[in-house]
Amino acid sequence: MTIPLLILCVSFTLFLLLGVPVAFSIGLSALATLAYEGLPLAVGFQQMTSGMGIFSFLAIP
């Protein structure tokens, strides 16, 4: 298991245990992993906003 994957899983679990809604937990965990990797956070926001236009993702409640 690599460090970024470990950060993603641990932060997601931690956010869920703190009572953060699932959608926000996924987003915050992804941003935490991007920050660890040293990638610009703008990349994460750009990918999230471009993914919202995909119809198959919109069908998932």
Is residue 28 one of the residues assigned to a domain?
A: yes
Which candidate, 28, 48, 39, 37, places its Cα nearest to that of 5?
Answer: 37
Q: Assign residue 53 a region (left: φ > 0; alpha: ψ between -120 and 50; beta: otherwise).
A: alpha
Mean pLDDT of the residues in the chain: 85
Q: Per the confidence metrics, is the pTM higher than 0.85?
A: no
Residues 30 and 9: their CA atoms lie apart, in Å, by 10
Is residue 44 one of the residues assigned to a domain?
A: yes
How many domains would you assign to the chain?
A: 1
49-56 average pLDDT score: 71
Range of the domain at 9: 3-49
Residues 7-26: tens digit of each pLDDT: 999 999 999 999 999 989 99
Q: Assign residue 60 a region (left: φ > 0; alpha: ψ between -120 and 50; beta: otherwise).
A: beta
Instruction: Classify 22 as helix, strand or coil.
Output: helix
Would you state the structure tokens that stand for residue 48, as one six-digit string? 């999230």
State the pLDDT confidence band at 43, using cuts at 50, 70 and 90: confident
Q: Which residue type sits at 27?
A: G
